[in-house]
Amino acid sequence: MSAVPQQNEVPRIPLLIGGKLVQSQTTEWRDVVNPATQEVVAQVPFCTREELDLAVSNAKEAFRTWRNTSQGARMRIMLNLQKLVRDNTAALAKAITLEHGKTLPDAEGEVGRGLEVIEHACSIASLQLGEYAENAGSGIDVYTLVQPLGVCAGITAFNFPVMLPSFMFPIAISAGNTFVLKPSEQDPSSTLMLAQLALEAGLPPGVLNVVHGGPDIANGLCEHPDIKAVSFIGSTRVGTEIYRRSSEHGKRCQAMMGAKNHCVILPDADRDVALNQLVGAAFGAAGQRCMAASVAVFVGESRDWIPDFIERSKQLKVNVGTDREADLGPLVSPGALKRVEGLIQQGVDEGAELLLDGRGLTVSGYENGNFVGPTVFSGVKADMVIYQEEIFGPVLCIVSADTLDDAIEFINANPNGNGVAIFTQDGGNARYFQNRIDVGQVGINIPIPVPVAWFSFTGSRGSKLGDLGPNGKQAVHFWTQTKTVTARWSAHAQGVNTTISMK
């Protein structure tokens, strides 16, 4: 944390409150750092509680009219937003790469996945339909109204600064809610840019607000009496606390958290497809994805392919994210670098075999960057820290299994359930696997099984708190409440009825 910056030193990132960019009056600021150079590219405020209250107050006032805005008007704003995001993909990706470090092609792909959700929100009129039953009883009609909750909030992690907010506010506000968003303080600029595009698309003042800060502001959102629902995507440690605080304060909450995703390679798989896909899923974005394939389970004779996998991993190019030929860029911060390298050493100390060591990597011209190359362990056991911890770096743990059943048993014993994949050319094996694996999202010859936006994100077990996930039908249910109306209109007076019958 640093003191208030002097004028003209570096850009100061504003808050977005009531439709206006507002400079925070806080005395606490955090440097936003380019992870490839350690250059301070901006400063982000840790806003005051008064500023948080002001954002919520604006959202509450805006809800009075926004909730009754026609579905058609809300859809047209989403249509405008999807065009603006598409037109500004390059600028959004550049901001992601500058502050996060991921490669430009990967950043552009992130914007595209966020765009899917915005496009899905353009169908809110059909997504928010109720039900109607005429003459459910004699002269009695029963129908449901799918209504917004009120002021909602989202808290996002650093690893997808455009996609994760897109998992939250487009569906929430198109359903008639208003929103307060707290992006990660590590790379907030692209998130704020996305929110500004939403205003340009036609959102009225106060419908979408952005505040910045650390745990105090996140906790303030969970505890604020005027906020009805909180969505969180990030680490298990933080997500557990967010869920606890939100629940204790009577709020609906979804917390999508940590993972240890497995990728099963069967001997009948297409060797080139399986190994190339595994390389990309394990090391893309420098492993900083909650859906990264961080454990490979080689079954039977496929274990003979491990040396080939190592050779393919060695071919990846590590460089600054603006190099379009790079396969992975730096980790987000020096702290992340220190943690990842420390866990690699712990794996060595625990007796795992280090087949490929990415530590100590220096990129010419970017000697201060937070770079780690692809790293591979074999002989990994379930009680090792490198297996139990989500490393969140370009580190793959290899486990061996004699049979598919052994692989399933091993994976199901892990407490997390975000995602799993299998590579096979046998449909029977694939169906057997998807039926017996206890993980919420399954990929068959797909290494990162994040579904398209009109299907829900269904991570499970230790990777999720709350009944409903982002995207698809579950998101619409999460951001709305159902009101059931039972009505009778009669031209004649009715006699007294002391029963509960609807005849």
Catalytic residues: 290
Asked if 178 and 203 touch (Cβ cutoff 8 Å), the reply is no
Residues 6 or more apart in contact with residue 405 via CB below 8 angstroms: none
Provide the 3-class DSSP secondary structure of residue 89. Answer: helix
- The gap from C-alpha 355 to its chain's centroid, in whole angstroms, comes to 31
Angle (CA) 21 27 31, round 5°: 75
Alpha helices by DSSP H, listed for 141-286, are 163-166, 169-174, 189-200, 215-223, 236-248, 271-283
DSSP string, 155-190: EE-SS-TTHHHHTTHHHHHHTT-EEEEE--TTS-HH
The number of C-alpha atoms within 13 Å of 336 and in the hemisphere containing its C-beta is: 25
Residues 203 and 78: beta-carbon distance below 8 Å: no
How far is the C-alpha of 408 from the C-alpha of 402, rounded, in Å? 11
Dihedrals φ, ψ of 300, to 5°? Answer: 60, -130
DSSP 295-350: EEEEEGGGGGGHHHHHHHHHTPPB--TT-TT-SB---S-HHHHHHHHHHHHHHHHH
Q: How many residues does the chain have?
A: 503
Cα 351 from Cα 15, distance rounded (Å): 49
User: Cβ of 233: how many Cβ atoms within 10 Å?
Assistant: 27
CA 480 to CA 485: how far, in whole Å? 16
Taking residue 482's Cβ as centre, other Cβ atoms within 10 Å add up to: 11
CB 253 within 8 A of CB 242: yes
Angstrom distance (rounded) from CA 229 to CA 470: 13
Estimate to the nearest angstrom the gap between the alpha carbon of 284 and the chain centroid: 16
Pair 410, 296: CB distance under 8 Å: no
* Helix-helix angle 404-412:427-436, to 10 degrees: 20
